[in-house]
Structure 1
Amino acid sequence: MDEDIRSDRPTCRIDAESFSHYREKLPGVVESILESCDDVECHTHTHIDYEPIPSRESVINIINKLREILFPGYFNNEKLDPVNLRYSMGQSVSVLFDMLSEQVCHSIRHDCFRYNQSCTHCVEKGNEIALSLLESVPAIRKILATDINAAYDGDPAAKSHDEIVFSYPGVFAIMVYRIAHKLFEAEVPLLPRIMTEYAHSITGIDIHPGAEIGESFVIDHGTGVVIGETAEIGNNVRIYQGVTLGALSIPKDAGEQLRGKKRHPTIEDEVIIYAGATILGGDTIIGRRSVIGGNVWITESVPPDTRVLMEPPRLIYK
């Protein structure tokens, strides 16, 4: 045994020397990375400053805390009962206010510094926007209730409202959207998109916070759904997986040319859009009570009470 250990020692020394040789190159790697940070092309995606930027981790914590408040008792770590509800809610709202105001402040301040804007009193604005969002929680709860009821009424696979709240990805994505939309309306930079892209990353449902969506909205199954920034969706609309409400083909300089203009379709009340349908264009309107079949491609408006279907494909059996 001792001879085996001694025979390994020269190899260990060689490995240690080889390891040191590689580590000695690290300072050069560091200098190369730092030089790239000063590169003109890379400077716009580098943040090296004394002022902090929004924290994605904090934003995720805010979403989870808001979910506890929007659905009391479902996602809390502690048990909620009529005795401790007021205390628990008070704690959650207080913590959320501090988290929200800080992240809103960081977002606004970051824009001020990066784009040399005039002072917007970001701390005070952060407090105002955080309070406004918390004050809107009852209204958000009411509209989410219509979304959940619509999901239950239209899905025979749903056994209870509890099942929908706990497990339906569409409900989670819509909840995050409705929160982010409030911040978007308040012109908070960064945070709304961080929120909806987080929901996108875990549900596969991509809803831009700028979209306008009415009540009793259902995304069934959900994976692959895309809803663009200027899309408008009425009440009692149901869409299925793989639906795209997008923009038409755009030029290379579209960022400057089309920013802020209507690029995505309008979906009126009581429309159903089945899986894989693609509807494009800011002038495209799907009239109320229409049904859009699966896998269709639409770039022109559809009158109310219309069914749009593809011809049955020719199937080949071998």
Structure 2
Amino acid sequence: MDDDKLDKIKKELLKSYSLGGGVNHIDGPSLPSRESIKKILMIIESLMFPGFQADEVIDQSILSYRTSEKLNRLFKKLYSETKKASCKKLVSSDSCNCEGCLSSSLDHTLELLSRLTKIRSKLLLDAEAALAGDPAAASMEEVILSYPGLKAVMIHRIAHEFYLMKIPLIPRMMGEYAHETTGIDIHPGATIGESFFIDHGTGVVIGETTVIGKSVKIYQGVTLGALSVKKEEANIKRHPTIEDGVTIYAGATILGGETVVGKNSTIGGNVWIVKSVPEDSKIYNKPIDYTIVG
């Protein structure tokens, strides 16, 4: 390909940049980095479950040092990415007040770090729920090392804290990283109680305004979604409430902001639900007769 053709292509691309958007703020603040968000999540995971990543060896004599070193790295990366996300140029046409952005980003970073112990406490309960709820789980170590459901829930619990602090971009970036790596799609706005277990997990979808109680267990392919996807309904509760102790089997779809699944209910596989279910219910499709040949 000759230089003239390349130059023509370049000019066409540059023209499209000026017309179509989708460019990372030329002459303005950079957007948060996908790679940096992944690294932040890896550091947080290593703080939640020390010694479970890479070839990291932990003993009591160096645990304090390792924790300090990780917190320092996390602070620097988190502050940098939060600062990018919080810049006012990302959310308005006003010029960026750099001093204000720096101050709010520092506050948000320190607040997130202060919540790590609370997040870890919830994750230990989630891991225990997986161990207790899956007959195939041989140990807590196996759950932490290999269960995609726990990984997705861990990332969600972190992303949810960013969401509560109204930090732009980063919560969704974290949620989509979990979706990409586990096949589990949880909006960071969803409220999820303790001892939550997603078994297998692939294809699970949990919408933004979903509320899930304590000790809930769901299987692969479950959708907790909205009856309507109208943009004007963005600020109302669109997704269901799942109360404590509910089990939802594979492929079930539960829709609607007014839909409540009552405590200790069991929802069978491939059930479609758009209205509330009383406590202690068992909802399932009528079995179809079949014949075994041979």
- Give the TM-score normalised by the residue count of structure 2: 0.95
Aligned twin of 1:25: 5
Tell me the CA shift for residue 114 of structure 1: 5.0
Aligned twin of 1:215: 194
- Give the TM-score normalised by the residue count of structure 1: 0.88
Gaps of 5+ in 1: 1-18
Superposed, 1:1-318 pairs within 5 Å as 19=1, 21=2, 23-39=3-19, 42-43=20-21, 45-47=22-24, 48-75=26-53, 77-109=55-87, 111-113=88-90, 115-117=92-94, 119=97, 121-250=100-229, 254-255=230-231, 257-315=232-290
Task: Mark the CA change 1:221 to 1:113 in structure 2 (over 3 Å): closer, same or farther.
Answer: closer
What CA RMSD, in Å, does the superposition of the two structures yield over aligned residues? 1.5
Matched residues, number: 290
Task: Mark the CA change 1:267 to 1:85 in structure 2 (over 3 Å): closer, same or farther.
Answer: same
- Cα deviation, 1:38-73, whole Å, max 9, x if unaligned, reads 21xx22x22223321110100000000100001011
Match for 2:45: what amino acid?
R
SS in 2 for 1:24: helix
Gaps of 5+ in 2: none
Distance 1:273 1:79 in 2: 38
Identical amino acids, percent of aligned pairs? 46
Distance 1:307 1:131 in 2: 45
- Cα deviation, 1:264-315, whole Å, max 9, x if unaligned, reads 0000000000000000000000000100000000000001110001011244
Tell me the CA shift for residue 113 of structure 1: 4.5
Distance 1:227 1:147 in 2: 17
Distance 2:159 2:31 in 1: 18
Which has the higher mean CA deviation after the structures are superposed, 122-131 or 161-170? 122-131
SS in 1 for 2:58: coil
